[in-house]
Chains A and B, each alone.
Chain A
Amino acid sequence: MLSVDVTRAEQFRISRQRLAERGRDATLQAIEDLARRVRLSDLEMIGRARLGHIGGDFSVVDILATLYGAVLNVDPARPDDPERDRFVLSKGHSAGALYATLAHCGFFPLAELESFAQPLSALNGHPNRTKVPGVETNTGPLGHGFPVAVGCALAAKLQGSRRRTFVVLGDGELQEGSNWEAAMTASHYDLASLTAIVDRNRLQQGARTEETKQLEPLADKWSSFGWEVRVVDGHEYAELLSSLDPSSTGRPACVIANTVKGRGVSFMEDRVEWHHKVPTAEQVVAAREELSA
């Protein structure tokens, strides 16, 4: 198990405290800053490892940065705190984005990111909770994280706890039937503390989702399963932040975050091949310039 980066964890804790005092603009700025650092780290990780899922990583980064930058009640120094909020990345192939986010928050040292996908590294191509603090369940095969998140929220409800549970799902992943089993269970048990966020980048490994197996009308699907639905721009921090407020209806909440695969790098954006294509050295340089601008 990797261990905490004490300095960075303390910075995370102080930063989260100060944001509450400094207001919304400062919060949005902090989220944006975290997102930029995560994209740059993830780019270097994938460039070095020569593998990864950069397209889906870059579509989900702004969601992760909003959650960790301003929403999740977690303490990187106490990843086992029973009362922590739970975050489950069901689209486990975006492990690179998750690792970079966790490292920038201090869950483990930033230098560890250099070991991504190297022999015997804790940072496998898909996240492992027994090795990486902050990971709640081992994902990778699709359609797994959502039922586990439902169980996390059920436990909180049984215990009378106010802690919240968040799960990020890929849109292509919604073709797995297990997700709809979980959606029914969460609704049946009135799990208002549960928020499911769909990274709606409209692309899956082989083609567009709507060409592969149609998901639309997606908001209607969630509504009909008994969820409170919010549709937002998944790269607009203010919209994202508001959408992650607790449910107001007593229903579990679904945020459909409209995103762009490969977001932030012009030659990757909305292109199917960047699902798991690896940038060349020259492309890494070009992408780094765009992301640093």
Chain B
Amino acid sequence: MTRDQTLQAPTYDCRKAFAEELLEMAREDERIVAVCNDSVGSSNLTSFREEFPDRLINVGIAEQDLVGVGAGLANGGMIPFVSAAAPFLTGRALEQIKADVAYSRARVVLCGQSPGMAYGELGPTHHSIEDLSWIRAVADLPIVVPADPNETRAVVRWAATSGGPSYLRIGRHPVPALGGEPRPFVLGRSTQVRPGRSATVIAVGTLVSRALDAADLLSAEGIDLRVINMSTIEPLDAEAVLRAADETGAVVTAEEATTTGGLGAAVATLLAQHRPVPMRILGVPRQFAPTGSTDFLLDHFGLTANGIADAARAVLRHG
């Protein structure tokens, strides 16, 4: 798909795919429950509530209780999908995520909705750019960031059957479908969405399609960019990262999150110790965003096709 095609392609809110797949699975498995914090609407759970009113647990505006109740439901043999806006789920209930879910190895699927800067003008209180850093610091908790509707469906299905806890980042900002046949999600396995030899962009979520657009921009300049969708941030697909470093010699990471502890930090930690190659880390620097729409803020922080292309040019030119 060329850049123009991508820009014109229809885009999707991944929360819809999340909600549809969850409802489908709830029909197949009566252990599945949705747990939310007055977020029935924003988590797209209205249909779920209509079909399974008893299995939609709404604890009200109470995120600590939300996550603790989820852990208890898991203890009692249910498969809870604990769903809330990502900033409140991960920020307010971080200690419950650590102690009740990860450390207790409770089979809770934590669903952070509308992450990154999806809430644009609502401001930094409602942005969830710290979540990847926070959750990455917690042991034994996989972090999965699907990049399009098909992958969102596959990830939701995987999470219900994984047998352990997980944190899913469910995007709200519209993204194009990445193409390809739907296939089962495998934890820790990335997808190379574009082959290339000059340099590699490793991206997650909203930034994957933008990385593809960057590759189209650069191909006219003779730069052949590899693009990897690193849907699993923990555990990282180390093999794919090391191979990219070996074969392309330069790496750019891109994420709608702070640069302090998410994808870029995970990739840098690996490469610095095993394959030191020139790198650029794109994301939100350690600052609170100014007022603006999601698109404005993505532009503001260079999280665009042009921003990624600039970073690739720079890493190739200057190392």
Interface residues of A (CB under 8 A from B): 82, 86, 128-130, 136-141, 143-144, 146-156, 158-159, 177-178, 181-182, 184-185, 188-189
Which stretch in B61-69, B217-225, B286-294 binds the other chain?
B61-69
Closest Cβ of chain A: how far from B24's Cβ, in Å? 20
Contact of B55 among A82, A128, A158 (CB under 8 A): A158
CA distance A189 to B53 in the complex (A): 13
> Quick check: is B95 within 8 A (CB to CB) of the other chain?
yes
- Tell me how many residue pairs across A and B have CB atoms closer than 8 Å: 109
Contact call B73/A144, Cβ cutoff below 8 A: no
CA distance A86 to B314 in the complex (A): 59
CA distance A137 to B165 in the complex (A): 14
Contact call B60/A151, Cβ cutoff below 8 A: no
Which residues of the partner chain A approach B75 to less than 8 Å between Cβ atoms?
86, 136-137, 148, 151-152, 155
Contact call A147/B99, Cβ cutoff below 8 A: no
Which residues of the partner chain B approach A151 to less than 8 Å between Cβ atoms?
68-76, 80
> Quick check: is B78 within 8 A (CB to CB) of the other chain?
yes
Q: A141-B95, A144-B68 are in contact. Are A154 and B57 (CB under 8 A)?
A: yes
Contact call B104/A182, Cβ cutoff below 8 A: no
| Chain B interface category by residue count | 20 to 34
- A and B contact pairs by CB, cutoff 8 A, 25 listed: A128-B103, A137-B71, A137-B106, A138-B100, A144-B68, A144-B100, A146-B68, A147-B100, A151-B69, A152-B75, A154-B69, A154-B76, A155-B75, A155-B76, A156-B76, A158-B54, A158-B55, A177-B64, A181-B59, A181-B62, A181-B65, A182-B68, A182-B69, A185-B59, A188-B60
> Quick check: is B305 within 8 A (CB to CB) of the other chain?
no
Which residues of the partner chain A approach B96 to less than 8 Å between Cβ atoms?
144, 147, 178
Contact call A137/B59, Cβ cutoff below 8 A: no
> Quick check: is B189 within 8 A (CB to CB) of the other chain?
no
Closest Cβ of chain A: how far from B269's Cβ, in Å? 27
Closest Cβ of chain B: how far from A46's Cβ, in Å? 23
Q: A144-B68, A184-B62 are in contact. Are A138 and B73 (CB under 8 A)?
A: no
Which residues of the partner chain B approach A129 to less than 8 Å between Cβ atoms?
104-105
Contact call B99/A155, Cβ cutoff below 8 A: no
CA distance A141 to B70 in the complex (A): 17
Contact call A130/B104, Cβ cutoff below 8 A: yes
Which residues of the partner chain A approach B54 to less than 8 Å between Cβ atoms?
158
Which residues of the partner chain B approach A146 to less than 8 Å between Cβ atoms?
68
Closest Cβ of chain A: how far from B271's Cβ, in Å? 33
Contact call B68/A82, Cβ cutoff below 8 A: no
> Quick check: is B41 within 8 A (CB to CB) of the other chain?
no
Q: List residues of B (77-128) whose CB comes within 8 Å of A's CBs.
A: 77-78, 80, 95-96, 99-100, 103-106
Q: A150-B72, A152-B76 are in contact. Are A178 and B55 (CB under 8 A)?
A: no
CA distance A152 to B74 in the complex (A): 8
CA distance A153 to B72 in the complex (A): 8
> Quick check: is B309 within 8 A (CB to CB) of the other chain?
no
Contact call B104/A138, Cβ cutoff below 8 A: yes
Which residues of the partner chain B approach A156 to less than 8 Å between Cβ atoms?
76
Considering the complex, give the chain A residue whose CB is closest to the CB of B65: A181
Which residues of the partner chain A approach B64 to less than 8 Å between Cβ atoms?
143, 147, 177-178, 181
> Quick check: is B33 within 8 A (CB to CB) of the other chain?
yes
CA distance A147 to B96 in the complex (A): 10
Considering the complex, give the chain B residue whose CB is closest to the CB of A167: B72
Contact call B99/A144, Cβ cutoff below 8 A: yes
Which residues of the partner chain B approach A149 to less than 8 Å between Cβ atoms?
72
Contact call B73/A154, Cβ cutoff below 8 A: yes
0/1 string, B175-196, CB within 8 A of A gives 1: 0000000000000000000000
CA distance A185 to B60 in the complex (A): 8
Contact call B99/A178, Cβ cutoff below 8 A: no
Contact call B72/A152, Cβ cutoff below 8 A: yes
Which residues of the partner chain B approach A188 to less than 8 Å between Cβ atoms?
60
Which residues of the partner chain A approach B106 to less than 8 Å between Cβ atoms?
137
Considering the complex, give the chain B residue whose CB is closest to the CB of A139: B99
CA distance A123 to B105 in the complex (A): 17
Contact call A182/B33, Cβ cutoff below 8 A: no
Considering the complex, give the chain B residue whose CB is closest to the CB of A129: B104
Considering the complex, give the chain B residue whose CB is closest to the CB of A156: B76
Which residues of the partner chain B approach A140 to less than 8 Å between Cβ atoms?
99
Q: A147-B68, A150-B68 are in contact. Are A138 and B62 (CB under 8 A)?
A: no
Closest Cβ of chain B: how far from A73's Cβ, in Å? 15
Contact call A184/B60, Cβ cutoff below 8 A: yes
Contact call A148/B71, Cβ cutoff below 8 A: yes
Closest Cβ of chain B: how far from A165's Cβ, in Å? 8
